[in-house]
Every structure is written in structure tokens, then in C-alpha cells.
Amino acid sequence: MSTSVSAAAAAALLPILHGRRSPPASRVPTICRRRIGPSPRLFSSSSTSSPILPAAAMATDGATPAGSKSKLLVFDSKEDLAVSLAKYTAELSQKFAAERGAFTAVLSGGSLIDSLSKLTEPPYLESVDWSKWHVFWVDERVVPKDHEDSNYKLAFDGFLSKVPIPPGQVYAINDALSAEGAADDYEACLKQLVKNGVIAMSTATGFPRFDLQLLGMGPDGHIASLFPGHPLVNEKERWVTYIKDSPKPPPERITFTFPVINSSAYIAMVVTGAGKAGPVQKALSDKKTSSDLLPIEMAVLQDGEFTWFTDKPAVSLLQNK
């Protein structure tokens, strides 16, 4: 059971729409296909192929932004949260597959993958058109894909190996490169996918517009690998950048920048536990000063819907919770 609290004027979730058949594998550029590590378990599919609609076909991505919407959901248990997150994600998957013939989903590390567990079970395992999914990472540690610190390994073990997303549509970093090289390489991949129409482009911001970013937050209020007080939070030009002095190990990582995060169509921010109550309170407070913003407070969609998926301990410091 959940409690819904408006953090701003919130819109209801969009209705489920029927999807088209999947795009041909040849639409995925070689520059990106070669990055895949261990291949997810394959399932048989009778889907026929059709092209992805260009980014311009996105109904929600116009020259005049409709503005950002925010919603706070508070759940009694992690189980209830996972059930709701699965429904939310599956509905958006169908919506974007119907509109563009593709669904671009961005993952983070940490406990987020556990919260996606219901997507790997009936009814979603059978009902979701996984052939439309294109999976990315908001940040990644520059370690081998089989390393225990790898966000790819975390997602593969807990999610990707259990659903039939085509391996060529899972975009891991090139872990043979340096942090700087991996960031440049990943940005080049994203730009190619925008050119091919797999990723939408925001006409409002000029940055890629991912359909859904599934994110988490650290106890210090960091998101992705954008940490409080670090110069990278102010990066305004790059799509993907790198960090060699992360305050949280391992030190070398790549990360999406705020312009990319804030150009998303939808963000699901999954935050649980009393240890994160302080940053949640600060992020949702009406009293803000630009001099001490946490990274979580800098995640403000330009034209999209931001939904918090939380539990009662995470919002324990909020008034009127």
C-alpha cells in the first residue's frame, strides 16, 4: 500500500498503449554493439522488425516545454514499492514502444536493481515487449564487467540475465579504456544512437532525452557519480564525463552530466531507508539556497515527470508525511 503526496502539480501515469514490433538489429550501430559483456539469456521470439521512429516523433518533446511535474510516493514496504515500480516501468515501456518503436531505460547501481525484481516475474516477464528495450547506465565504475564493483555486473546478475532484452541493445562501457577514454567512447555511442533515432533528442535543451531514468540516491545526496561539492556537478557541455577522485570507492568512474539527467522524459528516484531521510527532507523542502545544493536537489527535469519511490523511514523527517 502506498501514500501519494504531491511535491508539485502531478499528472496521472499515462495509459498503457500497445507497442509495435521491434526495430532491426542493424539499426544499432557497431560502435555500441561491441561493448556488451556476458550475454543475457536469450528467449525465443516471433517478433518481426520495423524501424524506430525518429526523435522528432516524440509527442512530449516540443519546442515549448510543458514544464516539470513531480510526485512523491511513500510505500509501507520494499515489496509494495517493487510492485508499483514494475507497473510504472512496464506502462512507460509500452507507451514509448508504441510512440517510437523503442524504449530507452537508464539504470543506476546500488539497491535500485533489487527494486526492479518484479519485472523479472509474471506477468511482466511475458507481457513486456523486451525487444524494444535499450539499456544504459547513468554511471559506471571503470572496472572489468565481472568485477564486484561493476554496475553492469550488478544489473546483469539481478535483472538483465532474467529478461529477454537483446544483448545488442544493452550498452555497457568499454572497460578496456581509461576513465577519460571510456567517457568519450560512451558519449560517442550515445550521439550515434541519437543520430540513428534510437535515443530521442530534446529540442528544449539540445541534450539526449531518455525515456526513463531509474535512479537512486546516496546518503550524502549524490546521484549518478555526481557528488556534493565536486566540480562535475557544474558541467554544462558534456553528455558523459569522468571522475578520478570519487569520494566513494572505486575512485575512477564515468557519469552522465546534469544536462542529460535533467532532459529525461521520466525519472523514477528510488530512495529507501532512514539513512537517506536527511537528503530527502532537504530535496523536498521549500527552503533552498543555491549555495549549498545537494546533487539530488539539482535533478530538476526541464520538461518531464519526476516520481519519488520511497518508504516511510526515508520520509520520516518530512512534515505532513
Say which DSSP state 172 is in: -
Q: What is the pLDDT of residues 95-107, one digit of tens each?
A: 999 999 999 999 9
Burial (Cβ within 10 Å: 0-12, 13-18, ≥19) of residue 155: buried
Closest CA to 33 of 193, 146, 151, 141: 193
- Tracing cell 515501456 back to the chain, one arrives at 93
pLDDT value at position 292? 85
pLDDT value at position 22? 33
pLDDT value at position 8? 36
Q: What is the DSSP annotation of 92-130?
A: HHHHHHHHHS-EEEEE-STTHHHHTGGGGSTTHHHHS-G
Give me 174's grid cell. 568499454
Give me 55's grid cell. 526523435
pLDDT value at position 63? 28
Residue 200: helix, strand or coil by DSSP?
strand
pLDDT value at position 122? 97
| Distance (Å, whole) CA 296 – CA 269 | 10
pLDDT value at position 291? 73
Closest CA to 212 of 76, 315, 116, 142: 116
- Tracing cell 556537478 back to the chain, one arrives at 233
Residue 43: helix, strand or coil by DSSP?
coil
pLDDT value at position 246? 95
The amino acid occupying position 195 is: K
The torsion region of residue 117 among left (phi > 0), alpha (psi -120 to 50) and beta comes to alpha
- Maximum separation of any 2 CA atoms in the chain, in Å: 55
* Cβ(115)–Cβ(78) below 8 Å: yes
pLDDT value at position 60? 29
Half-sphere exposure (Cβ direction) of 54: Cα atoms closer than 13 Å: 3
pLDDT value at position 285? 87
Backbone φ and ψ of 302, nearest 5°: -75, -35
Q: How many helices (H) and strands (E) does the chain have?
A: 8, 12
pTM of structure:
0.82
pLDDT value at position 321? 53
pLDDT value at position 21? 32
pLDDT value at position 1? 58
Q: What is the DSSP annotation of 277-302?
A: HHHHHHHH-S---GGG--GGGG---S
pLDDT value at position 319? 74
Listed as ranges, residues in the chain with pLDDT below 70 are 1-67, 289-290, 320-321
